[in-house]
Amino acid sequence: MCSPEHFAVEYAINPWMDVTTPVDRDLAVKQWDRLRETLVGLGHEVHLLTPEQGLPDMVYAANGAFMVDGTAYGARFKHEQRAAEAAAHHAFYESQGWRFIAPSETNEGEGDFAYVPETHGGLILAGHGFRTEIPAHAEAQEALGRPVVSLRLVDPRFYHLDVALAAIDDSNVVYFPGAFSAASQRVLTQLFPDAVIADDEDALAFGLNLVSDGANVVLNSEAARLAGKLKAAGYTPVPVELAELKKGGGSVKCCIAELRH
């Protein structure tokens, strides 16, 4: 995770960003702190990336790489405003002694990659359409040695896979069908017949931008309806208020890079 101490909406690179809406940075830091404390309270170890002046989106730490079994496939951001973040993430992963593979192709880390470890021996779901380019899917497959399934995103409000789909345990997902092309919806139905299906209200509340440890699902507190669906499916929803960080087009998952080592 990376503190939002420099967070601001200074440019608009997704439909959620409005440069005329002020950000309360102190409140953003408080909400982010509460998210970090929630993860620690659930028994997880949280590593911190040092935020850098001039990179207001660094708080969205998930976008910097995608890690499976101790190997991190690095990010290469689509927009120049975020390009310098990649080096900070590269330095972090190497400082921890983890294997890092630098990308040649445009991709935004866990923003567009999800991992489902017990489906087909470990399956990577990969989004494209707005940020990550399709050649990065093949590059990730080579880097990480896991099969990749490409899913096309068709609604600009759901510009990253992680605002439309999330793994909720080692073999299942929750997703909003309307974010995907008809063919990608069919693929998801075949792969995950027991998936939790979200509606547009859940998705627009950033409910799918969540993190799950297989039992506890940490999600945006605005997504009360999705929390109910997850509870009915046997999970424990853990709501967290992140209204300030939503102004940049992200929520719980965007703030968390999962270190699968």
Which residues are annotated as catalytic?
160, 254
65-68: strand order across its sheet = 65-68, 71-74, 99-101
Determine, yes or no, domain membership for 16: no
The pLDDT tens digits of the residues spanning 201-251 come to 999 999 999 999 999 999 999 999 999 999 999 999 999 999 999 999 999
Residue 212 lies in a domain: yes
Q: Is 10 part of a structural domain of the chain?
A: no
Per-residue model confidence (pLDDT) at position 182 = 98
- pLDDT value at residue 120: 87
Mean of the pLDDT values across residues 26-51?
A: 98
Provide the number of structural domains found in the chain.
1
Which pLDDT belongs to residue 234?
Answer: 98
Strand order in the sheet with 173-175: 165-167, 173-175, 196-197
Please give the Cα distance from 77 to 120 (Å, whole number).
29
What's the mean pLDDT when you consider all of the chain? Answer: 97
Nearest to 162 by CA among 60, 239, 254, 227: 254
Read off the CATH number of the domain in which 118 is found.
3.75.10.10
- pLDDT range class, residue 16, cuts 50, 70, 90: confident
pLDDT of residue 9: 94
Confidence of residue 28 (pLDDT cuts 50, 70, 90): very high
DSSP H/E element including 31: helix 25-41
- pLDDT by residue (tens digit) across 133-169? 999 999 999 999 999 999 999 999 999 999 999 999 9
- The answer on pLDDT for 256 being more than 90 is yes
Q: Give every CB contact of residue 58 below 8 A, 6+ residues apart in sequence.
A: 2, 6, 49, 51, 52, 85, 88
List, for residues 85-95, the tens digit of each pLDDT value: 999 999 999 99
Asked if the model's pLDDT at residue 13 lies above 90, the reply is no
Q: What is the SS3 assignment for 57?
A: coil
Find the domain containing 227 and state its range: 25-255
In-domain check, residue 117? yes
15 lies in a domain?
A: no
CB 251 within 8 A of CB 223: no
pTM, full prediction: 0.97
Examine residue 177 and state whether it is found in any structural domain, yes or no: yes
